[in-house]
């Protein structure tokens, strides 16, 4: 599995320039790779995050933190509490 993760991480790195995401991929498979990478690198397992913390983490790579946050939740990579006040890393 680590070979798979490292090869997909390497492919994801082509989406970045100087540590910043150049664009959110339109193709679902490519976006899924990116989202997995972001979940692994920006969010710790077993830790709860507030929405501002999630936004701040996502802004380190791209200004459209709302879109990235929404994609992460829809993909199940971040889970959101019912009232929307807390997020946790999923899968």
Condensed to tens digits (0 to 9), the pLDDT of residues 3-49 reads 344 445 568 999 999 999 999 999 999 999 999 999 999 999 999 99
Average pLDDT rounded to a whole number, residues 45-70: 96
Please tell me the distance from the alpha carbon of residue 80 to that of residue 60, in angstroms, as a whole number: 20
Name the pTM for this structure.
0.85
Backbone angles phi, psi at 30, to 5 degrees: -70, -40
Please tell me the distance from the alpha carbon of residue 88 to that of residue 11, in angstroms, as a whole number: 26
The stretches of the chain forming alpha helices (DSSP H) are 2-13, 28-42, 51-59, 65-74
69-84 pLDDT tens trace: 999 999 999 999 999 8
pLDDT, greater one: 55 or 7? 55
CA nearest to 90, candidates 77, 71, 74: 77
**Residue 82 per-residue DSSP state:** T
């Amino acid at each position: 599995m680590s070979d798979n993760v490292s090869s997909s991480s390497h492919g994801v790195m082509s989406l970045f320039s100087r540590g910043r995401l150049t664009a959110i991929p339109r193709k679902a498979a490519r976006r899924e790779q990116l989202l997995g990478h972001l979940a692994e690198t920006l969010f710790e397992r077993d830790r709860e995050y507030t929405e501002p913390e999630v936004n701040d983490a996502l802004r380190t790579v791209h200004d459209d933190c709302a879109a990235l946050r929404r994609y992460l939740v829809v993909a199940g990579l971040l889970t959101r509490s019912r009232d929307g006040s807390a997020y946790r890393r999923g899968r």
